[in-house]
Amino acid sequence: MKNKGRVLVTGATGYIGSHTIVELINAGYDVVGVDNFHNSSPSVLDSIEKIVHKTIPFICLDCSNKEDFERVFDQYPDIIAAIHFAAYKAVGESVSKPIDYFRNNLQSLINLIELSYSKCGKGAIVFSSSCTVYGEPDPENLPISESAPVKEATSPYGRTKQMCEDILKDSTKAYPWLKAIALRYFNPIGAHPSALIGEMPSGVPQNLVPFITQTAAGVRQELKIWGNDYDTPDGTCIRDYIYVCDLAKAHIAAVERLIDENNSADKFEIFNIGTGKGLSVLELVQNFIKTTAVTLPYSFAQRRPGDVVKVWADPSKANEVLGWSAQTPIEDILLSAWNWEKKVRGIQ
């Protein structure tokens, strides 16, 4: 396969970053990864290398430190594009430590933009954004498209996603050498089919699927479903669950669009990355039980403050413009998450 050039991946050993590196290499790109292991482990790098059967160039650093970050560009002057995952991401923590979140999440992106120009003379950035920018969508706006209004964020974390999008939008207007795409993810779940990389939160999981798999593995006593009195068919919240490997492939499609010299599209574009199908929390739980044949004790608890009732994507723009679509059935996704959990816990 012809080499397509080198892509910088920040937050390289995180959940989505690690899967994206695998897909980049599968698609014929070289990479250089950076991470400071704030919310990940060096062991992830070993696992990526086992999957792709090659050594991954990697530098441990903090992207919000410009002098440190500059080393990457000095060492790898052949970078043609960057995928920017590096960010603090705990919603609750961001409420108690807003300045930390603004400093880290905004400064790392600003540094990336400046270094792209000063070191490479041009910039092509894929930004890891989120459907949280839509807030609680009006029912008539479902499924939600990119033209839906961006609502006031409910946390400093969510606000940094909105502000980073604004930074990119304004910067692409001001600087002729810069292009960017923001991918607004819905709910990434699952693990690589090899069961070598997956979602491994520290402490009590904030996301549903790791809580399900940890309960199935006996790490948690019981799964709590927050609220069964919502205005939905079964009373539980509805989300758009996207397979992490499908999501990773969307980044490759975005990179290829940015580096295509024949592409005369807007210099800043936004795409929803989801399946286009809403699935309730209870449906997901029942799907897991049916697919794995594992006993999963669960009960209903009071609503959790700040939870959106229902949101799912209209991914037609990504389908048509990027040529990307979600491919993996929910049963396969949940099985991949369970296989990953079993591997981590040493369960046969």
Active-site residue set: 157
Contacts of 169 (CB under 8 A, 6+ apart): 268
- Rounded Cα–Cα distance for residues 186 and 129 (Å): 9
Instruction: Count other C-beta atoms under 10 Å from residue 186's C-beta.
Output: 26
- Rounded Cα–Cα distance for residues 217 and 15 (Å): 20
User: In this structure, are strands 238-239 and 279-280 parallel, antiparallel, or unpaired?
Assistant: antiparallel
Give the distance from CA 298 to its chain's centroid. 27
Instruction: Count other C-beta atoms under 10 Å from residue 178's C-beta.
Output: 19
Give bridge partners of residue 182 from the DSSP assignment: 127, 270
Instruction: Count other C-beta atoms under 10 Å from residue 145's C-beta.
Output: 14
